[in-house]
Amino acid sequence: MEKEYKKPGRILDYNKKLPVLEVYTCIQSEGSRQGRPTVAIRVTGCTHRCWFGAGGWCDSWYTSIHPEKGIFTFNDIIKIYDENPEITEMMLTGGSPTMVPDLCNENQYDNLMFYELPLYLI
Ligand code: SF4
């Protein structure tokens, strides 16, 4: 029997709290987008349990091993872009953002259209 996968949907209620713990502006410090102004969005609820050998366990337990509850809505994400029109980038990080597919999906639609959406998985 073929396994069925849930298709990512969209966020229907922009006032509903999402599994998002942090939303803030910053300068990207990693990768090919280094130096660009960005909005960092950190999701929570990761069920992975990464062990990095000498580096120890996951460095953000508050999003994974002992996850805190999300406090931001999608309207909060829209608001921070409205307040910072010069920012066109987003760093969606975690807490494993791919575990929140509706949020990844919604970012691609009408209100937030990004040129690129870098995903930082760890
Ligand atoms: S995927 Fe990221 S947040 Fe999840 S356990 Fe691994 S390092 Fe931590």
Cα 100 to ligand 1 centroid, rounded to whole Å = 14
Decide: 64 in ligand 1 pocket, CB within 6 A. yes
Give average pLDDT by consecutive 10-residue segment, the chain, 122 residues.
78 95 95 92 95 94 96 95 91 89 79 50 40
Q: pTM score, two decimals?
A: 0.84
pLDDT given at position 68: 97
Terminal-residue alpha carbon distance, the chain: 33
CA–centroid distance, residue 63 to ligand 1 (Å): 8
Whether 45 is in a domain gets the answer: yes
Give the Å distance between the CA of 94 and the centre of ligand 1: 7
Is 43 close to ligand 1, i.e. is its CB under 6 Å away?
Answer: no
Domain-located, residue 55: yes
Cα→Cα distances 28→24, 76, 90, 110, Å: 12, 20, 9, 24
CB 49 within 8 A of CB 96: no
In-domain check, residue 1: no
pLDDT value of residue 58: 94
Q: Does any domain span residue 13?
A: no
Return the pLDDT at 115.
45
* pLDDT score recorded for residue 110: 54
46 CB under 6 A from ligand 1?
yes
Looking at the structure of the chain, the number of domains it has is 1
112 within a domain of the structure (yes/no) = no
Q: Which pLDDT does position 1 carry in this prediction? A: 73
Range of the domain at 55: 20-27+36-106
Torsion angle, alpha carbons of 11, 33, 115, 101, to 10: -20
